Structure 1
Amino acid sequence: MNKGQKKFRFALNLQTFSGGAEGQARLTEIEARKGEIRALLEGDGEVNIDELEAELRSLGEEAIEIRESMVREKRKSLAAGIQAGTVEARQTNMFTPGDTPDPAKEVRKAAEKRGKELKEMRAVTVGSSNVVLPKHTASDIRGTFNEVSSLIDRVTHKPLPGGESFEQPYLKGYGTGDYTGEGANYADAEPVFGKVQISKAKVTAYAEDSEEILKLPAADYDGEVMKGITIATRKKITREILVGDGTTNHLTGIFSTAATAIDAGTDLEVSEVDEFTLDEILFNFGGDEDVEDPSVLILSKKTLKAFATLRNTDSKRVYDVKTNGNTGTIDGVPYIINSACKDVDTATVGQYMMAYGPLSNYMLTIFSDIDVQRSTDYKFKAGMIAHKSSVFVGGNVVSKNGFLRVKKAAAV
C-alpha cells in the first residue's frame, strides 16, 4: 500500500454496496408488513390465523435470503478493496472489533441474567422471537345457552341480612255482614288472616381450576369460573321457587304441599293442551267476583311448544305465541319458561306442569349476600385454585291461593 494512499475503517452500512439500497428498502417493507400482521393477530377482528402465520414465515425466509445476499455482496466489495490496496486486510471480517455483534454471546448473557433473577426468587420474562411464531388465543369466551330462568328476578325480594326465619301474614278473606234484629248482637264479620313461615336455607356451589388456566391463556377462564358458580347458585334457587319441598334447609316451592297459602282444592287438572286450556286457566284463577287481569303463566319449553303447534281443523294456529327468549306471550297472556316444570306430554298423572298468577305472590327472602371466594391453599402442591359460593335464602307463597297450579289429569 502506498504511503500516501488514503486509509479508512470499513463500517457496516448495507447501502454502500451494489444492491444494498434495494435490499434495505425491501427489508423495510417486510418489517412493516410483519407489524401489520402482528396487529391483525392480536386484534379482536376475525382473521385467518393459518394464512397470516404462513405469510409471516414466508416474509421471514425472504428477509434471511436478502440479508445473506447483502452479506455476500459486502464480502465481494471488501475483497475487491483489499486487492486494490484501498482497505486494510485486517478489516476482512466485515466489522471492527468494537462493532462485531455476537448473537450467541448475547443469548448467554440473557440466560445468565434470568438464572440469577430466578435464584433471587424474582419473576422473569422471556420474550419470543420471529423464529418460533406465537400461538394466538382469543381474548373472549363464547357463551352457551341461557340456563337460568328469569323467574328468580321477578318474584318479590325481601332482604333480611343476618336473619334466621321470617313470618309473613296474609289475608285469607273478609267476613260477610248479616241482618240483625232490634237489640240483637251484630253479625260477626271479622277478616280472616293466615301466615306463612319462611326459614333459612343454605345454597352452595364449588369448582376448581388449575393455576395454568389463571395465568397462561389470554381469555379470562378464571373469571368465567367465578361467574359460573354464581350462575349455578341462581340456577338452583330459580328451580326451587317451583319445586322446593319446604323441608328443613329447603325453599318452599309453588308446587309443594308445604305451600299452605294455596288450597290444593283449587288445582286445575288437564290431560293435554287443547283450544280450551288457556281459558280454563284464566277463568279458574282468582276469586268469584272478578276475572283477574293477565298474570304470568309458568311452564316448560315443551309445553309452550304444545301451545304454539296446536292447529284447528283448517290448519290455522289456535294460539298466537310470541317468543322473546325466556319470556313471551300466549294470546297476550305473559309466560315465563322454567325447566323445573314437567311438560304436558311426559308428566305422569298428578304431577304439576304449570302455575299461573302474579309473581309478586312468591317471596324470596335474602338472609345474606352471595359470597364468592377463591383460595389457593387447598391442593396448593398440585397448583389448583378452589372457588366456592354460598348464600342463605328462603322462599314461600305469601298470598292466599296466590297461584293456580295445573297438574296432569288422567286421560279421558
Structure 2
Amino acid sequence: MNRKQQIEKRKAEIRALLEGTEAVDLDALEKELRDLDIELQQIEKRQTLAQGIATAANDVGEQRQIPGAENPVKEDPQKEARKVREERGKALKENRSVTVGSSNVVLPKHDSPTINPTFNEVSSLIDRVKPMELKGGESFEQPYQEGYGTGDYTAEGADYADAEPMFNKATIKKTKITAYAEDSEEVQKLPAADYDSVVMDGITVAVRKKLTREILIGDGSTNHLAGIFSAAATAIDAATDLGISAIDATTLDEIIYSYGGDEDVEDVAVLILNKKDLKAFAKLRDADGKKVYDVKNNGNTGTIDGVPYIINSACKALGTATTGQYCMAYGPLSNYTLAIFSDLDVQRSTDYKFKQGMIAHRGSGFFGGNVTAKNGFLRVKKAAAV
C-alpha cells in the first residue's frame, strides 16, 4: 500500500472517529495529501520525458534490413550521399529538375506534353490568290486583255475603222524559296512535348510566311516574285495609283470608286492593309462620337462596311509610311497568279552534324507570281499632307 492509499485509509478512519471524542488535526492531513498529489504529477512528467528520449535514441540507432541480407546493417552515410549526388546529376543533365539555393532540396520541374502556339504570322492572302500548278516548268506567261477598240463612222467605200482588242502578257519566272532549322537529339528524345514536330511544321510555315509577303512586296528581280507593289507588276498602270495622306470618313469610298473601269463599280474586290490602318478605320468617329465605319473582325480577315479585308504586315501603315510608299491594295485576289513549279519538299537529316548529335531540317520549293490582269489592283500610297 503506497502513501496516498494510506492517507485515504486514514481519512476514512478519521471520519469514523469524528463521531467519538478523539481530537484529529484534519488540516495537516489535507496539506500532506495535496503535497503528495503535486509530487506524483512531477514523477509522471519525468517518466514521460524519459520515455520520449529513449524513443528518439532508438530511432537514431535504428537498423535497416537490406533485401537479400540475413542480418540488418546500419546505413552508410557516405554511400547514401553519393547516391543522392548521382541522382541529382542525372536529373540536372536531363534538365528535369532544379536545385533551390545551396541546400539539398531538389524540386522536380514538370514538363507539359503540349506546346502553346504563338500568334498567327502568315496572312491568309497566300490562300486567296489564284494558284496554278506548273510542275517541272521554268517560267509561265499569262496573256491578259487590256481593252477593246472603238468603232467609228465610215464613209462609203472607205476603210473600216480599226477596232482591234488590245492584249498583253504577264511573265512569271521560277524562284526558289528555302527554310532551314536544327535541333538536338535531346530535344527530339527527352522532352515530353513534341518539339521536333513543331520544328518540322515550322519549315512549312516559314516558306508560306515568305510567300505571302512577296505577293505584295516582291521586287520581281532574278529569283524573286513580282509583287503587287512592284514596278515588275507591269499589268498595273502606275498612273492609276491612289494617293491618301490619312484615313478619314471618305477613304473607303475613294478607294472603291477609284478602282476598275469607267462603266462599272466592282463588287468582288478585297482590301489588303496593315493592322494599324484597320485600327484607324475602327477608331474613326464623327462629330457626335459615333463610329464612321462598321468594322467586323474575324482573325486575319473581316469586313469594313461590308467590304472584305485581309491583314498583311507587308503593307506599310499610313501613319508611319513615308510619302510615296505603298500602303494598301484593292482588287479581286484572283488577279494575282501564284505559280507552283514544285511541291514543297521538307526533309530531316542526321548526317550533317552527326558527331554533335544535331538533326537538320530543310524545306524548299519553286514558286513564281505576278499580277495577271490589266490594272488588277488599285494601289494606295502615302500622299503628302495637304
TM-score (norm 1): 0.68
> Matches of 1:278 and 1:385 in 2, distance apart?
50
For residues 122-141 of structure 1, what are the structure 2 equivalents within 5 Å?
136-141=110-115
Letter in 2 for 1:164: E
* Alignment CA distance shift 1:310-1:103 (3 Å): farther
Q: For 1:315-374, what per-residue CA distance to the aligned partner results, in whole angstroms no more than 9, with x for missing partners? A: 111110000000000000000000000001000000000000000000000001001011
**Where does residue 144 of structure 1 map in the other structure?**
118
Question: Is 2:244 the counterpart of 1:270?
Answer: yes
* Alignment CA distance shift 1:260-1:217 (3 Å): same
Query: SS where residue 204 of structure 2 aligns?
Result: helix
Letter in 1 for 2:115: I
**Where does residue 171 of structure 1 map in the other structure?**
145
For residues 147-296 of structure 1, what are the structure 2 equivalents within 5 Å?
147-296=121-270
Q: Is the 8 A contact 1:270 1:407 kept in 2?
A: yes
Letter in 1 for 2:124: S
**Where does residue 87 of structure 2 map in the other structure?**
none
> Matches of 2:69 and 2:163 in 1, distance apart?
101
Letter in 1 for 2:282: A
**Where does residue 82 of structure 1 map in the other structure?**
none
Q: For 1:277-297, what per-residue CA distance to the aligned partner results, in whole angstroms no more than 9, with x for missing partners? A: 000000000000011114100
Cα distance, 1:101 vs structure 2:
4.9
Q: For 1:135-171, what per-residue CA distance to the aligned partner results, in whole angstroms no more than 9, with x for missing partners? A: 5422211001000000000000000011100000000
> Matches of 1:345 and 1:235 in 2, distance apart?
24
* Alignment CA distance shift 1:212-1:188 (3 Å): same
Q: What is the aligned-residue RMSD (CA, Å)?
A: 2.2
**Where does residue 14 of structure 2 map in the other structure?**
none
Q: Is the 8 A contact 1:282 1:294 kept in 2?
A: no
Of residues 297, 301, 315, the one that matches 1:327 is 301
> Matches of 2:351 and 2:220 in 1, distance apart?
36
**Where does residue 315 of structure 1 map in the other structure?**
289
Q: For 1:206-263, what per-residue CA distance to the aligned partner results, in whole angstroms no more than 9, with x for missing partners? A: 1111000001112110000001111011000000000000000000000001100000
> Matches of 1:304 and 1:156 in 2, distance apart?
25
> Matches of 1:388 and 1:347 in 2, distance apart?
35
Letter in 1 for 2:186: E
**Where does residue 82 of structure 2 map in the other structure?**
none
For residues 108-127 of structure 1, what are the structure 2 equivalents within 5 Å?
none
Cα distance, 1:178 vs structure 2:
1.3
Letter in 2 for 1:199: K
Question: Greater CA radius of gyration, 1 or 2?
Answer: 2
Q: Is the 8 A contact 1:246 1:256 kept in 2?
A: yes
For residues 342-381 of structure 1, what are the structure 2 equivalents within 5 Å?
342-381=316-355
Count of matched residue pairs? 292
For residues 44-123 of structure 1, what are the structure 2 equivalents within 5 Å?
101-102=67-68
Cα distance, 1:376 vs structure 2:
0.6
> Matches of 1:276 and 1:196 in 2, distance apart?
33
Unaligned runs of 5+ in 2: 1-58, 71-105
**Where does residue 410 of structure 1 map in the other structure?**
384
Letter in 1 for 2:384: A
Query: SS where residue 161 of structure 1 aligns?
Result: coil
> Matches of 1:314 and 1:299 in 2, distance apart?
27
Instruction: Give identity over the alignment, percent.
Output: 73
* Alignment CA distance shift 1:189-1:139 (3 Å): same
Query: SS where residue 257 of structure 1 aligns?
Result: coil
> Matches of 1:202 and 1:346 in 2, distance apart?
32
Q: For 1:173-206, what per-residue CA distance to the aligned partner results, in whole angstroms no more than 9, with x for missing partners? A: 0111112222111111111000011001111111
Q: For 1:14-62, what per-residue CA distance to the aligned partner results, in whole angstroms no more than 9, with x for missing partners? A: xxxxxxxxxxxxxxxxxxxxxxxxxxxxxxxxxxxxxxxxxxxxxxxxx
* Alignment CA distance shift 1:305-1:101 (3 Å): same
* Alignment CA distance shift 1:210-1:180 (3 Å): same
* Alignment CA distance shift 1:103-1:239 (3 Å): farther
Query: SS where residue 312 of structure 1 aligns?
Result: coil
